Amino acid sequence: MTATDQLSQVFSALADPTRRDMVARLTLADATVNELAEPYDVSVQAVSKHLRVLEKAGLVSRRREAQRRPVHLEAEVFDLMTTWIERYRLQAEKRYQRLDALLAELPDEAEGDAK
């Protein structure tokens, strides 16, 4: 899987409020599918589907443990997003700095354009 592809999957996975809530709860402790499903008003199968999405995105992993399959958050994947975000945030900021510098250097007669 390419990096940009995974990034898409991570963003897409977190676009769903239920999945975001599951991730939030998993920061506190690992949990089984049934435990995760309990607070929501949907079937266990639906939650299982959500987990498959999170797993494909690399956000969670599951281990076998007797009949249970505890879900574990892989928080490192967050870095993928923050790296992307910070890169372009910085680029955008640099642009404003250039703009500010430009405005500061402008001779007075240009002020009329500022409007």
Partner DNA sequence: CTCGTGTTCAACCAAGTGGTTGGATACGGA
Partner DNA sequence: TCCGTATCCAACCACTTGGTTGAACACGAG
- Alpha carbon distance 93, 46 (integer Å): 42
Taking CB within 5 to 8 Å according to partner kind, which of its own copies, DNA, none is near residue 46? DNA
Among DNA, its own copies, none, partner that 72 touches (CB below 5 to 8 angstroms by kind): none
- Four-CA torsion 48, 77, 11, 17, nearest 10 degrees: 50
The stretch among 39-47, 79-87, 89-97, 100-108 that binds DNA (CB under 7 A) is 39-47
- What residues are paired with 60 via a beta bridge? 73
CA distance 106 to 54: 51
Residue 35 vs 74, nearer CB to DNA: 35
Residues that bind DNA (CB under 7 A): 12, 15-16, 18, 32-35, 41-46, 48-53, 62, 64, 66-70
